[in-house]
Amino acid sequence: MAKEKLPKESDKPADETPESKEIKKEDDKSSTRNIILIIIMIVGLLVLFFSIKYFYHPTPPEESYVYNGFKFTKVSSLWLTEVQVDNMVFRITTRYSPNELEHITVEPGVYEKIVGSKKIYFTLANNLSSVAVLGVTELGRIVGTRYGLFNIPSQAALTGSNDQGTPVKTCKDAVNGTGVIWFKLGNNTLAYSDGNCVIIQGADEWGIVKTADRVTFGLLGIMH
């Protein structure tokens, strides 16, 4: 009968020593730290990506063109150009540019009646909104004393009585060197005159602004 073979001492699994246990713990800690670092890096890259996407807004290319020797540049919602009178350079902003206004007619004599006035009232109906008032502002700062171009004393007015103490002026008041520019709604968008009164007319209120800008460019010699 064969003798049963007894396992040798070397075949038995050796008990882990304190040193090996400590090394294993350090390896586990190192692996955990590496995983945490990788997660932090991924989260950081994601945050950076979405931050750049949210905060970075590339500047659009400049929109500009030259019209009759005057450069027009789009700045936000306005058009900017420079006009030189004698040795002075004036920076003029308008809501529209000349290319958008070539279809608007300015009848003969309009410019002469404006610049020949000793004083001008800019008048409009009481029920018009701030859009029409914008047209008054566009033309008024060129004709009046805002830029120092034509320097004609000017004042805002209304065509009807009001509680604000604003002067009431109509075309009937355009006499004896006093000019009246009436900003009004009509069937067409154009500028014309009635006697000594100049009418800035639009088919809607933005049309009034367009006609005001068209007359502005005519006064400055940009459009003819």
Taking only the tens of pLDDT, the chain with its 224 residues reads 555 555 555 555 555 566 565 555 565 666 777 777 777 777 767 766 666 655 655 555 669 999 999 999 999 999 999 999 888 999 999 999 999 999 999 999 999 999 999 999 999 999 999 999 999 999 999 999 988 899 999 999 999 999 989 999 999 999 999 999 999 999 999 999 999 999 999 999 999 999 999 999 999 999 98
Considering the segment(s) 101-219 as one domain, its CATH architecture is: 2-Layer Sandwich (3.30)
User: With a threshold of 0.85, does the pTM exceed it?
Assistant: no
Domain regions of the chain by residue span: 101-219
DSSP string, the chain: -PPPPPPPGGGSPPPPPHHHHHHHHHHHHHHHHHHHHHHHHHHHHHHHHHHHHHH--PPPPP-EEEETTEEEEEETTEEEEEEEETTEEEEEEESS-GGGTTT-EE-TTHHHHHHT-SEEEEEE-TT--HHHHHHHHHHHHHHSSSSSSS---EEEEESS--SS-PPB--GGG--TTEEEEEEEE-SS-EEEEETTEEEEEESSHHHHHHHHHHHHHHHTTS--
